[in-house]
A and B are shown apart, each in its own frame.
Chain A
Amino acid sequence: ETGVTQTPRHLVMGMTNKKSLKCEQHLGHNAMYWYKQSAKKPLELMFVYSLEERVENNSVPSRFSPECPNSSHLFLHLHTLQPEDSALYLCASSQERGLEAFFGQGTRLTVV
């Protein structure tokens, strides 16, 4: 398998649930990212990891908790989300920070 893979593709969760999004990259890249894409809004960068170290957190609420156990895997742990958190969550990776990013197909999250 090549590229950036995200699972699940679709997720419906209640506001009291805990769930996790998974991202795996098979490109040997050193940086990984989480983006949020909401309707009629620009792509929002949430977190940046470089060599498994979090280097940026764009004022994301604590109900979103990222984890990068190694350079190939990135998780986004979700807890007590709000309906306005419903969006497409995109994972991406790049060889180095600031170079072109390669995106996964996203997880369509619906919070009910």
Chain B
Amino acid sequence: AQSVTQLGSHVSVSEGALVLLRCNYSSSVPPYLFWYVQYPNQGLQLLLKYTTGATLVKGINGFEAEFKKSETSFHLTKPSAHMSDAAEYFCAVSFSSNTGKLIFGQGTTLQVKP
């Protein structure tokens, strides 16, 4: 079955530290991969996406993610955390353009400590 797993429901980092949020998927076909961010009582905002081509993708707010097919991973990173990065982050995957189903991970809450 196709699925998405985010390791760690809560991640806490200090301001200025590296942010690493993990996402793994299971699929037998090439995926489209996405990271979204959600601030309290808001909708989801797209951070970045991978469809084809370069496996290292850069997104908004200094975030980037790398698609590693051999590891079936799409981890999200940011070199230096900012207080404003505190939010919930969702990894999502779709497997073809004719199903329309974005499958979301459980989410990871990022806490940034001063």
Q: Which of B45, B49, B106 contacts A103 (CB 8 A)?
A: B45
* A97: chain B residues within 8 A (beta carbon): 97-101
| Interface SS of A by simple majority | strand
Residue in chain A with minimal CB distance to B4: A42
Contact with A along B79-114 (1 / 0, CB 8 A): 000000000001000111111111011110000000
Q: Which of A98, A103, A108 contacts B94 (CB 8 A)?
A: A98
CB of B98 within 8 A of CB of A103, answer no
Answer yes or no: A81 CB below 8 A from chain B CBs: no
| Interface SS of B by simple majority | loop
CB of B42 within 8 A of CB of A99, answer no
Answer yes or no: B44 CB below 8 A from chain A CBs: yes
Contact with B along A68-112 (1 / 0, CB 8 A): 000000000000000000001010101011111111111010000
* A21: chain B residues within 8 A (beta carbon): none
Q: Which of B36, B97, B104 contacts A98 (CB 8 A)?
A: B97
Task: Please measure, in the bound complex, the distance between the C-alpha atom of A92 and the C-alpha atom of B43, giving whole angstroms.
Answer: 9
* A106: chain B residues within 8 A (beta carbon): 41-43
* A105: chain B residues within 8 A (beta carbon): 41-43
Task: Please measure, in the bound complex, the distance between the C-alpha atom of A106 and the C-alpha atom of B45, giving whole angstroms.
Answer: 12
Given contacts A102-B46, A103-B36, A106-B43, 10 further A-B contacts (CB under 8 A): A6-B43, A33-B102, A45-B101, A45-B102, A98-B32, A98-B95, A98-B96, A98-B99, A99-B94, A100-B49
